[in-house]
Amino acid sequence: MTAELLRESYHIQGRNFDKAGEISSEIKVILKDLELDAGCIRRVVIVAFEAEMNVVMYADRGTLTLILTDRDISLEVVDEGPGIPDIDLAMKEGYSTASDEMREMGFGFGMGLPNMKKNSDEFCVESEVGKGTSVFARIRLDADA
């Protein structure tokens, strides 16, 4: 049996670049306070930050849910946005549909989704064009960084 220890949901405002990343910073503080393994925290917050930036850059709004159990940490990110027409293509490093504004922020170089996958033990993306995208990532507490 897996015991759920914490579940927290955060609203992400689309196109608000000033606040982009605040949720991931907050998650880092929460996980550090829980004295979890530093490598594990690092992986979780990198996935959270990339996901948060993706919602801010592309979607109208979204929700990030953090779930901590005694075995792992999950991140569920669901947005209302344009969706991804070709997920396989979006997962390719270097592929990007980012605007100049996004690139000026230092993002949109086609590394976000591959980076999230690399830092997750389980990772999946589902999307419907015109509706939005859901990302699920699980990071095991006992995995090596």
Partner 1 sequence: MKLAEIKELLQCEVLSGEEDLSMDISQVVASDGMSEILAFAKSRELMITGLTNIQSIRTADIAGVSAVLYCRGKRPDKKVIDFARQKKIPVLVTAMVMFDICGILYNKGLKGVS
List of residues contacting partner 1 (CB under 8 A):
17-18, 20-21, 24-25, 28, 38, 42, 45-46, 49-50, 53, 104-107, 109, 111-112, 114-115, 118
What does the CA dihedral 60, 130, 51, 9 come to, rounded to 10 degrees? 60
Residue nearer to partner 1 on the CB measure, 58 or 107: 107
| Shortest distance (Å) from residue 106 CB to partner 1 | 4
Closer CB to partner 1, 72 or 107, in the complex: 107
44 vs 59 by CB, closer to partner 1: 44
Nearest approach in angstroms of CB 35 to partner 1 is 16
d(CA 59, CA 80): 6
Helix intervals (H) in the chain: 22-33, 38-58, 87-90, 100-104, 112-118
In angstroms, how far is the first alpha carbon of the chain from the final one? 25
